[in-house]
Amino acid sequence: MMLSDFNDLLSASAQQTEPQRLLFVFVKAELPESPTADQHARHDNGEGGTLTAVLCVDKAPQDITSFAALAAESAATGQAWDLVFVAALDGRAGIAPSSDEAAQPLRLMVNAVNDGQISRFAAFDRDGTPVQFY
């Protein structure tokens, strides 16, 4: 599914047959150890780098009013971030997953992001614009 903005993600989540819980992993793009001149240049242009998870949270979609509200809530932690990866966890029998039920999938998501396995997640920049990786 192509997302034009974060609201598309919220709309898609609301249209699912089972209620969902959204999983968020906020990451910082950093230079790798011993970066080359090219890696420095690309990083300075907002490209490339190593993605490191710095913050994660799960939320019910109805608890998110907008991307701006999510970004403001994350800012309150004092943790800087560059991108956020998002996944959805389906409920069962009309019941949304609890935060406890989301804990293990969220840990697995953090591990996947730290390992560079990001293709199955939606990604957004700090403005809520979808990001695609090639």
Q: Name the band, by pLDDT with cuts 50, 70 and 90, for residue 106.
A: very high
Q: What local confidence, expressed as pLDDT, does residue 113 receive?
A: 95
Residues 6+ positions from 117 with CB-CB distance below 8 Å: none
Residues 6+ positions from 51 with CB-CB distance below 8 Å: 27, 28, 29, 30, 83, 113, 114, 116, 118
Q: What is the mean pLDDT of residues 99-126?
A: 95
pLDDT tens, residue by residue, 21-70: 999 999 998 887 877 888 878 877 777 778 999 999 999 999 999 999 99
* pTM for the model: 0.90
Inform me whether the pLDDT recorded for 99 exceeds 90.
yes
Nearest CA-CA partner of 50 in 60, 40, 63: 40
Q: What local confidence, expressed as pLDDT, does residue 110 receive?
A: 97
Task: Label residue 71 left, alpha or beta by phi (over 0 means left) and psi (-120 to 50 means alpha).
Answer: alpha
Inform me whether the pLDDT recorded for 132 exceeds 90.
no
Q: Alpha helices of 4-96 — where are they, by DSSP H?
A: 6-14, 37-44, 67-75
